[in-house]
Amino acid sequence: MADSLPPIDHLVRRSVKRAHALFSAEQAFVVTDDANERSTKVRLASKIESEYRNAKTLPAALLAQQKGGAGPARPAGPQAPGAAAGPQRKLIEGPMGQTVEALSSQALTTTGGPTPISHAQPTLLSSSLIRRREARQVKPDYHAPWKLVRVISGHLGWVRAAAVEPGNKWFATGAGDRVIKIWDLASGELKLSLTGHISTVRGLAVSPRHPYLFSCGEDKMVKCWDLETNKVIRHYHGHLSGVYSLALHPTLDVLVTAGRDASARVWDMRTKAQVHVLTGHTATIADVKCQESDPQVITGSMDSTVRLWDLAAGKTMTTLTQHHKSVRSIAIHPTEYSFATASAGGNNIKKWACPNGTFVHNFSGHDAVINSISVNPDGVFFSGGDDGTLTWWDYKTGLPFQSGEDLPQPGSLDAEAGIFCSTFDQTGTRLITGGADKTIKIYAEQG
């Protein structure tokens, strides 16, 4: 029976503790209790573990950086270890040329020893540390400054449209004086004037595969000019109001026009047949652009939306609603699968990735009504404002590298310092702008 009784050592120790607590003040001796010290240590260790668990060990990514010295090494291959195979995409890079995702993946696969349990899943602390250390802005590319080199006078109205021919020898402009003028690009001399529109010319396009110049205007007319005879050979009838913009498809014999009737119309260039009427916008379509791959047609409207169209079906693929005011201009990058749109107000220029219109970043800082934007193959992005302000940006990062003002020519009012149209030449080294002072200005890149 004695063997089956439970031990009472712990009861004795507890009784001694209580007796010591009650009578220690009246006694001259001190009772040493090892259990009391152990209890204190356990309680302190438990508190440290619960409160400072996440701070005792650095996150795996930061630990790997400290072990590596100056910073993380670049991955051996084009992709970070463990990344799924697929097409390479441009991502926001860290200071050593690696993405945040690549750093995390590399650190988790190269750090020696078992990963602490607290960092098996990214915690708020580790995520914020990595983000603040690595998610820094990509450095913009260097771009040479631009300088005004020529001012061309000759129009009697606001210059509203400009287009450079594929051979880069001449360019055409259209204005409020209802005349289309052909200028020599090298000398700036007037070569030809084409009359036929009875209202402001708002859009021009030169075909890269045919000797044709296409024009549209506020007189609802869309004309096809034969550049061998300098005469109109086709009219495209169908718009119910002024036509504000037109674009040629790069590979198909298709012409797209858009204007005040809130519709974009797709024409067969040869037969003049109307292939599609792209409806959906609720206000004037200010600009339309075409490219080879989907979305093959992009429109920007005064209803503050941008629509990407399925050309085969004649229906909207995506509607972009991030702009808060009327979208006045669209620019498609010549070599990158992306485009930009411009409107009025803050954060008024936005970059989008194709084919789904994924938002990339804002071009912040040009707080004006942006009437025209253009981009060249070197990544120089230009925006011209209704108040005459000009800004040149790095297209990759959205950072400005030069700004200026359009000075109205003698005889013009200060209020006539506005930019209405812009286009780069085929080499991307000259920029042609048309403004409210009835002049054409050519800016050149300073090598």
What would the pLDDT profile of 174-210 be if each residue is shown by its tens digit?
999 999 999 999 999 999 999 999 999 999 999 999 9
- The pLDDT assigned to 442 comes to 97
Contacts 24+ apart (CB under 8 A), 400-408: 400/363, 400/365, 400/366, 401/140, 401/143, 401/145, 402/143, 402/145, 402/146, 403/366, 406/433, 406/435, 406/437, 406/441, 408/435, 408/436, 408/437
Going by pLDDT thresholds of 50, 70 and 90, the confidence category of residue 87 is: very low
Give me the CATH code for the 146-445 domain, please: 2.130.10.10
Q: What are phi and psi of 18, to 5 degrees?
A: -65, -40
When mean pLDDT is compared across 99-103, 187-191, 197-201, 237-241, the lowest value belongs to: 99-103
Residue percentage of the chain with pLDDT more than 70: 79
What rounded mean pLDDT belongs to the chain?
84
Q: What are phi and psi of 56, to 5 degrees?
A: -70, -35
More confidently predicted of 68 and 252? 252
Query: Element (H or E) spanning 310, and its range?
Result: strand 306-310
Quick one: tokens of 358?
């994924």
**Hey, where are the domains in the chain?**
2-38, 146-445
Going by pLDDT thresholds of 50, 70 and 90, the confidence category of residue 20 is: confident
More confidently predicted of 411 and 354? 354
Mean pLDDT of 61-79: 55
Going by pLDDT thresholds of 50, 70 and 90, the confidence category of residue 115 is: very low
When mean pLDDT is compared across 133-147, 153-167, 211-225, the lowest value belongs to: 133-147
Rounded Cα–Cα distance for residues 344 and 300 (Å): 13
Distance of CA 175 to the CA centre of its chain: 31
- The pLDDT assigned to 138 comes to 74
Cβ atoms within 10 Å, residue 254: 20
pLDDT above 50 for 104: no
Rounded Cα–Cα distance for residues 418 and 76 (Å): 51
Quick one: tokens of 170?
């001449």
Instruction: Please choose, from the candidates 445, 444, 439, 405, the residue with its C-alpha nearest in 3D space to the C-alpha of residue 151.
Output: 439
Instruction: Please choose, from the candidates 188, 195, 191, 189, the residue with its C-alpha nearest in 3D space to the C-alpha of residue 174.
Output: 195
Quick one: tokens of 108?
């988790």
What would the pLDDT profile of 323-347 be if each residue is shown by its tens digit?
999 999 999 999 999 999 999 877 8
What would the pLDDT profile of 293-326 be if each residue is shown by its tens digit?
999 999 999 999 999 999 999 999 999 999 999 9
Q: What is the 3-state secondary structure (H, E, C) of 148-185?
A: EEEEEECCCCCEEEEEECCCCCEEEEEECCCEEEEEEC
- The pLDDT assigned to 416 comes to 79
What would the pLDDT profile of 348-404 be if each residue is shown by its tens digit?
999 999 999 999 999 999 999 999 999 999 999 999 999 999 999 999 999 999 999
What would the pLDDT profile of 7-17 be if each residue is shown by its tens digit?
888 888 888 87
What would the pLDDT profile of 28-47 be if each residue is shown by its tens digit?
545 456 777 888 888 888 88
Cβ atoms within 10 Å, residue 242: 18
Query: Element (H or E) spanning 19, and its range?
Result: helix 9-23
pTM above 0.85, yes or no: no
- The pLDDT assigned to 174 comes to 97
